[in-house]
Structure 1
Amino acid sequence: MNFITKKHLARRTFLRAGGVSIGLPLLGAMVPAGTALSQTAAAARPRMGFFYLPHGAIMNNTRFGEEMNHWTPDSEGADFDLKPILEPFAPMQRHMTVVSGLGNRPAESSAVHAIIPGTWLSCVHPNRDQTPSGGVTVDQIAARHIGQETPLPSVELATEQRGGSSGCDAGYGCSYSRTISFRTATTPLPMEADMRKVFERMFGRGDTAAQRSRIASDYTSVLDMVMAEIRDLGRELGAADRSIVNDYLDSVREIERRVEMLGERDLTGVDLPEIPVATPGFDERLRLMFDLLSVAYQTNMTRIATFMMAAEVSNTPYNHVGVPDAFHPLSHHAENRQAMEKLVIVQRYHSEVFNGFLTRLSEMPDGDGGSMLDNSIFLYGSNMSNSNNHDSFPLPTLVFGGGNGTIKGNQHLRYPDHTPIANLLLTLLLRAGVPVESVGDSTGEMVEV
């Protein structure tokens, strides 16, 4: 088959053989082409996770002062006191670092909910445009360096696909409110809330191990079937186009390699969670997502995860903890004591569920005598402080895990007011062995962490 006609290829050219086809990238023989993305491998590094809470925390109310501070410890240094929202983390305190004094000025705008989530991990203020244009988030920076030796360089999870309409804005659109992960400045990554899709992405299709093995065994390399066509095409292209095709095919081969890695995973002895046929309530969804993620870490399916534990502008009620109010309307508490006390119950519940996840990881052996939690670096917090004011200072921020000995733990660190949270993001990347000089508006590493 000859694809070359008057030195031009059709834009929708495919390589075909044996009943399968594979598309080609944009080539100079078609129209002016851009450069291909490079693929790099990296040595094994700590697991990383970024866990986002919408609507801030009851931590800096101005009417009731310290009486309504249910987050920030009074004492600094080691063995700090735990306020009500943080009390569930008492068993994990030696793995815990509370970081106070942080702010995120690039997250400030009149759009509020529309850009708060998407700027948490980039610390870059987006352009006011319906087309996304912000900053690469630190999870994706990490995925490029320490996520390349796992089948999934990163996973993006949520309990709800989206919240209310105020998560969108006439100027900024909806791109920043529905995700906390950006692969590039213009490429937001969708957060997956469908548990069945998450399960199949991580562990393969099929309801049983036998079914998943059978489906995986049916996989045949598409590239192997079209190699003759690839060689014929290569003889007709110039050097620049051959380089683009080779880079593109390397990327396809990398995808195939990851699929093969998924098929080769030995899941014997791994307790995979059962996924309900019907959509369960919020509490079960949240806990199941954490169960899926813990197994993904355990089986080395991925090293990098982001998780929106509730949607921005979430209208979910919390009947399961005795709070029938919808989350977002409750967050506009107008400094009403009763409403704020209900919010404390909701925020404490999130801590309880996350502590269960940490406990499970602390019981998983990983490496020479350590646990999965010992070898992980997790950020837990929000990009909003007082939900009634929609401010971005002081941010409720916790770090968990030992980072293979790079994170001290059991600390409450208080920094000067409005220290950029980007400094902490930079520090966590460096602790994970990711070579990076700056993040967003960072001004330096936090050596005390």
Structure 2
Amino acid sequence: MVIFKAAIPRRTFLRGVGATLALPVLDAMTPAFSAETTRPTRMAFMQTPNGIFNLNGEWTPKAVGANWELTRTLEPLAAFKDRMLVISGLDNQQAAGLTGEIGGDHPRACTAWLTGTHAKMTSGADLHAGISVDQIAAKEFGKETQLASLEIGLEAPEIVGACESAYGCAYYDTISWRNETTPLPMENRPRALFERLFGDAGTDPKLRLAIRQEDRSILDAIGVDVKRLRLRVGGQDRSKIDQYLDAIRDVERRMQLAEKQGHQEITIGTPTGAPEVFSDYYKLMADLMVLAWQTDMTRVITFQMGHEMSGRAYPELGFGDAHHPCTHHQGDKEKQEKTTKINILHTKMLAYYLGRLRDTADGDGSLLDHSMILYGAGLSDANLHLYTDLSLLLVAGGVGGIKGGQHVRYANRTPMANLLLTMLDKAKVPYVEKLGDSTGRLDLPSV
């Protein structure tokens, strides 16, 4: 049972058998928390694998500044152009091989993307890189949330051992590092992520399983508290509560449907219980990420669209070729076109996520208004394994006074880590002098 005083505490939970639900921000909560000026900043770092094809300007706009036009791969993001910074010229130099290192461009690029450090060539337990930017933010923002961060991916962890040359699979499996020796696993199972956000770990697992098998909802267990809550809040808050609970139930239904179809053949890398079609899988995980931010369960998310060297195929695009082989096109126009179509599908999915954030209320604005989202890849040209002039996109909402609607180009050989430090500053994380191979801060367009 939930007992309310004059104002509803921010950290109020609705609890029932097998369920623990945090509430979204309501007007009935403390005025200081509900005020727009006090809304917390959220940060997401989203990596797509195998570079982004840009040989013919598929990604990078021709014009610099405000008068740029959306390119073919960026076109799905048209609704968010005024919030976007397309960033060119930055390098992922720590992806470069050192003397004596053979191969390993993919794992080094993946690891260096958020750490700015060089991955040690090893397939054993002596992994070594550096703390990633998300974990620096998580140390600060995690003081106020139940979960310091969430690490989410759309492919299963690879087997233990070497995946390319002498580099361990762990370098592919994550973009998040707690410290120099601790890579954080990416959760790719929708049900496990749902349980982490809304399940009651103190409940008998067999009971929670029985609830799922009967197609029951965790919302059934909190019905009395929901009715009591609705009597204590105004009409606008009741609408927020209804939308929030509807979103949870929608996610449940989609998971239950996927779990029923679990006996069918599914795409390689897709866990049992996840939708077979990539876009459905992505949207399910994206909706869970939105719920995590809506309830302030966490403020920091890393998201891996797929592992480096991802062999995922996208039959919904009309062809069955795996992603990684397509990127090694060797000038083959057909493979280039297939790679571009995959990249466009990925930006369409990003647009879905941004749209969900835009449409989710947060104080006097939306979740998107209070978020900073970085999207891109650790390699530029995957055919040649280049790590210079990366394709990067920053969606900043209204965070940090950043002015969107711009294409910014920085001097050649500027480390990407400079952008990461600048993002921390804009998010008001206490000053960090250096991250990986950073050499300073970037001058981002400001309002």
Q: Which amino acid aligns with 2:415?
A: P
Q: Aligned runs of 1:24-423 on 2, under 5 Å?
A: 45-59=40-54, 61=55, 68-109=56-97, 110-129=103-122, 130=124, 131-162=126-157, 168-205=163-200, 206=208, 207=212, 208-210=217-219, 269-270=243-244, 271-272=247-248, 273-274=251-252, 275=255, 276-277=258-259, 278=262, 279=273, 280-281=275-276, 282-368=278-364, 370-423=365-418
Take 1:312 and 1:213, find their aligned partners in 2: how far apart are those partners?
Answer: 42
Take 1:201 and 1:187, find their aligned partners in 2: how far apart are those partners?
Answer: 21
8 Å contact kept, 1:116–1:176: no
Q: Which amino acid aligns with 1:302?
A: T
1:292-329 CA deviation, whole Å, 9 max, x = no partner?
11111111111100011122222111111223211111
Larger Rg: 1
1:212–1:142 Cα change, 3 Å: farther
1:121–1:405 Cα change, 3 Å: closer
8 Å contact kept, 1:113–1:168: no
1:308–1:392 Cα change, 3 Å: same
Displacement of 1:405 in angstroms is 4.5
Name the SS of the counterpart of 1:324 in structure 2: coil
Name the SS of the counterpart of 2:326 in structure 1: helix
Take 1:298 and 1:128, find their aligned partners in 2: how far apart are those partners?
Answer: 40
Displacement of 1:285 in angstroms is 1.2
8 Å contact kept, 1:117–1:312: yes
Displacement of 1:104 in angstroms is 1.1
Aligned CA-pair RMSD: 2.2
1:165–1:350 Cα change, 3 Å: farther
Query: Which stretch of structure 1 is more off in the superposition, 339-348 or 316-325?
Result: 316-325
1:211–1:201 Cα change, 3 Å: farther
1:201–1:268 Cα change, 3 Å: farther
Q: Which amino acid aligns with 1:120?
A: W
Query: Which stretch of structure 1 is more off in the superposition, 156-165 or 294-303?
Result: 156-165
Take 1:146 and 1:302, find their aligned partners in 2: how far apart are those partners?
Answer: 8
8 Å contact kept, 1:157–1:308: yes
8 Å contact kept, 2:77–2:348: yes
Displacement of 1:291 in angstroms is 1.0
Gaps of 5+ in 2: 1-37, 98-102, 201-207, 224-239, 263-272
Q: Which amino acid aligns with 2:348?
A: E
Equivalences, count = 349
Question: In the alignment, what sits opposite 1:5?
Answer: none
Query: Which stretch of structure 1 is more off in the superposition, 205-214 or 87-96?
Result: 205-214
1:127-181 CA deviation, whole Å, 9 max, x = no partner?
3333111100000000001122111110011111146999724533222111000
1:175–1:144 Cα change, 3 Å: same
1:213-252 CA deviation, whole Å, 9 max, x = no partner?
59xxxxxxxxxxxxxxxxxxxxxxxxxxxxxxxxxxxxxx
8 Å contact kept, 1:164–1:313: no
8 Å contact kept, 2:111–2:117: no
Displacement of 1:403 in angstroms is 4.7
Tell me the TM-score normalized by structure 1: 0.74
1:324-381 CA deviation, whole Å, 9 max, x = no partner?
211111111112111101111110010011101101111222123x221111000000
- The alignment-based identity, stated in percent, is 40
Name the SS of the counterpart of 2:280 in structure 1: helix
Take 2:51 and 2:219, find their aligned partners in 1: how far apart are those partners?
Answer: 45
Name the SS of the counterpart of 2:361 in structure 1: coil
Take 2:185 and 2:398, find their aligned partners in 1: how far apart are those partners?
Answer: 27
Take 1:335 and 1:267, find their aligned partners in 2: how far apart are those partners?
Answer: 53
Take 1:351 and 1:164, find their aligned partners in 2: how far apart are those partners?
Answer: 29
Gaps of 5+ in 1: 1-42, 62-67, 215-265
Question: In the alignment, what sits opposite 1:255?
Answer: none
Take 1:44 and 1:127, find their aligned partners in 2: how far apart are those partners?
Answer: 40
